[in-house]
Amino acid sequence: MKTFRKKLLGKASAKETFRESFIKAQSAMEYLMTYGWAILIIAVVLGALFELGVFNANNFAPKAPPGACQVFRPNGPGTTSFINLEGICTGEIPQYVAQFNGQSSYVQTGINEIPTGSPNVSITAWVTVPIYTSSGCGQESAFGYGSNSCNANQADLGLNGNGNVSFASCGNDFFSPLRVALNTWTFIAAVYTSGATTATVYENNKSSTGALSSNKIISVSTPITSWIGAIPSPACLFDGSISNVQIYNTSLSPNEIQALYLEGIGGAPIDLQHLVAWWPLNGNANDYSGNDNNGQASNVNYISNWYSGYTPP
């Protein structure tokens, strides 16, 4: 009899356990039916915000306002004695970058510290492009100086129609195999040494050296017109955004170029003695090298929501 009761109780307990489990499952389903759509909507919204870069860590990083860091030349433009950096120069990302539309945007300026007969040149910049475009001439120019005529002087750092980093100067053209990714901030640079038949270009921490297409030597006179976002005249207009353009009248070493890259998009110049011009493009086209090479911007937008696609080195 006792054994029979135990069996009955066991069966009752099993039924009770099943009933409780069923009630719990039913409650869970009712909860999901009640709140599931809300959870799904929240998940979709969060995904969209992540895609838009709202949760990008750069949104919360310290921003350098325009002119936060600059070169001080106590003896005036063009001098190199006792020069130093002043302000906040610790690599904070800029508050703004310059956006170019590829049709009518450019900055016209000038440089006058590259002496004739000593055309050692280094050009660096940070760029991002939404598409690859020939801009009507097979190249988007990040920075160039001189004239389109090869009877005059010209040097240009930019991209070809496929997004490959290039260096050109009046028939001296080197289109490297290094290609920038779309919608991604990329450090690019070009280094040319006086009399050389080759040039070296950089894309982030990669480099490529190639022969120039002719034996012409870059000749640089002073002063000379220069352009940001265009090749001289202007033409080959840049479609994308540019930041932190620097030009030197020396051939920077690979280690110096690497150091500039590692500083990131807000990095300060590395060789003040040979610095010709420095345009951070952080809200204006001013030259912060102390050499007074301020630019005049045409149809350039300075945008603050530029962080998408930028990852600090």
Quick one: fold of 60-303? Answer: Jelly Rolls (2.60.120)
Q: Which two tokens stand for residue 157?
A: 């750092």
Q: How many CB atoms lie within 10 A of CB 47?
A: 10
In the chain, domain spans: 1-55, 60-303
What is the residue type of 269? P
Exposure string over 9-44, b if 16+ CB within 10 A, otherwise e: eeeeeeeeeeeeeeeeeeeeeeeeeeeeeeeeeeee
Q: In a 3-state reduction of DSSP, which class is residue 166?
A: strand
* Tokens encoding 222: 């002073």
Q: Residue 65, preceding bond cis, omega within 30 degrees?
A: no
Instruction: Determine the 3-state secondary structure of 299 from DSSP.
Output: coil
Strands 164-169 and 154-160: what pairing? antiparallel
Strands (E), the chain: 63-64, 69-72, 84-87, 93-94, 97-101, 106-111, 121-128, 139-146, 154-160, 164-169, 172-179, 186-192, 198-203, 206-211, 224-228, 239-248, 275-279, 296-298, 301-303
Say what the pTM is.
0.80
One digit per residue, pLDDT tens: the chain, 313 residues?
444 444 444 445 656 665 666 566 666 666 656 666 566 666 565 555 455 555 555 666 678 899 999 999 999 998 899 999 999 898 899 999 999 998 899 999 877 665 545 578 899 999 999 988 765 566 688 888 765 555 445 678 999 888 999 988 766 788 899 999 999 999 999 998 887 888 999 999 999 999 887 655 555 555 677 889 987 667 778 999 999 999 998 999 999 999 999 999 999 999 999 999 999 999 999 999 999 999 999 999 999 999 989 999 9
Q: Which amino acid is at 53?
A: G
